[in-house]
A and B are shown apart, each in its own frame.
Chain A
Amino acid sequence: MRYQVKEKLVSLGILAPSIMAIGVFVYGFIGRTIQVSLTDWNDIVSFMQGEFEFVGLENYFRLFNDTRFITGLWNNLFFMLFFILGALALGIMMAVFINDKPRGHFIFQNIYLFPMAVSFVVTGTVWRWIFAPGSPRSPRGINMLFFQLGRPELMWEWFTSTFSIGPFNIALVTIIIAAVWQFSGYTMAMWLAGLRGIPEQLIEAARIDGASKWQIFTRILFPMQKAITLSAVILLAHISLKAFDLVYVMTGSGPRNVTDIPAVYMYETTFRGNNYSRGAGISIILLMMVGILIIPYLVNTFREE
């Protein structure tokens, strides 16, 4: 028993610096943000002089009656969903192929990873140029390519389209494509790292038993990579909530806010509008959203273990 107590103390000792740092830098600051979100700090004067009144949940009520915020929430949900699915599907596919060492795999791998290395400000601009539609008589970007290839029927409004299917704004597709482009390489990297750990013998045995590539993937590779896939999902979810730079540069919030996300709204509210309390309210709602999405995952993981 003494042995266990000692090990437990050592464990806690290892974790202690991280726990303290996160305690202050995350939970301390979240506490502060919650406090701000319950006040009426809507300009720097009151912020500086500490003159504020607690207004309860007023900022939150206001946000939930704000069409821009609601649109942004929906957009972020759909963006998160399709971005995670897209990056995961593409990343896993690339990892499985590259793991089989096709000719030139090293080059392919680095080409797929490269987009992540380039500043968002610039990749966002390039994607904006690509998806900026131009006008029918003088198309631009990808439309220009379609036009010159003699397929003008493929020309489309892209991210300036205000068309939507239910709450899903179709303009988001362009941002999803850009984000998948930028991050599926990393999903591939995470999966490749995991595949390193799966013993060759296991796959060899399955192959001798006559399992097809697909069966090996669904019965062996995918189940064994579950933990890593979940890491990837969390990471991608994290990216999709913080896609501020990409969206801000690429499309802005768009006509009728079709490409707005709360991170952009928060930035504009806080730093352009000096509306600290409402900005803080947006942060807290985002965090609660994350809580709702992430807690089922955690519960699920712990139950399995």
Chain B
Amino acid sequence: MSRVEIRNLVKKFGSTLAVDQVSLDVGDGEFFSLLGASGCGKTTTLRCVAGLETPSGGGILLDGQDVARVPAWDRNCGMVFQNYALFPHMTVADNVAYGLMARRYRKAGLLGRMGWLVRAVSACLPSEDLIRVREALAMVELEGLEERRPGQLSGGQQQRVALARALVIRPRVLLFDEPLGALDARLRVKMRQEIRRIQRRAGITTLYVTHDQEEALAVSDRIAVMNHGRVVQVGPPEELYLRPRTRFLADFIGLTNLFSACPEGPGRVQLLEGPVLPTTHAIPAQGTFSVAVRPESLRLLGAGEEAPGSFTGRVQLRMFMGSTVKYVVASGPLEWTVAAPLASAAERIGMGDEVRVGLQPEDLLVLEGSE
């Protein structure tokens, strides 16, 4: 049961600043994600926590203890790597038991160390370790594969072995570095549920690095979005999705209707080359800023229907997505994406039709930063 506190972390590689004044607090048992595009410093932050990188400035506290001088092997973290980093010359059981053997070696005296080394090299596990290995493998549903080698396992199974290896040592913190990157889409969805389930059951504080916003939104208690080595916004998934503060975040989280705008009286904004629309959010007094509307909060208005804000456009594209139907509506030079529930799509709107689009003032989000 532990907390991770990152205080003004700075990491430089030569002259490039990979992590710039990052401060985060991860609570006990929390599933915390670092989300960002590649090169944003999220993996470097994680590696600093693991002890694989030495910070250039700032500090990291595990349970309130500064670990700056603690080497990686004494931090008691479990880590799952992007390519799993399973030892190809060991069986599944030996891979999982590796951390246990390493701990026995660490705690032994000089002679004992030699003994444990020989046992580790010749793959002679103590029976209590074997029990713990079995437990860990059962937790990831890999019973019976103890004697296989990593090369004989599928990608998903390798992933589970890597997870079991990280879990068996009962780590203070579980670290994931893009763990699902190498899996195909369907397996990714399945594995992320699995990881979440196991993490909840074990109650281990977790730091999870990913570039996939859908993945981060689906599994995390809280998310920190990073860009250029800095934290852009921290919050629960719902907050990030519903109330993104910046244009970067809205773009990254997958908001498609992103436009530049300028103020037009109280509670109203003028979209550049577009309509004037109402909003309930605070508007900067002057200058251009960005606004965003989620596709599912736009509505195609029927004849006689009214909405606080509305504009007309022509349907360019109609895409059937399953539970919704997506329309791309061109209004002047702007293209809007509208996600309509399947039921309303029965109104037989087709490509080329003239439509009216309506929205509620609270759904027009006002963001910092422009294009």
A binds B: no
Residue positions of B touching A, CB distance < 8 A:
none
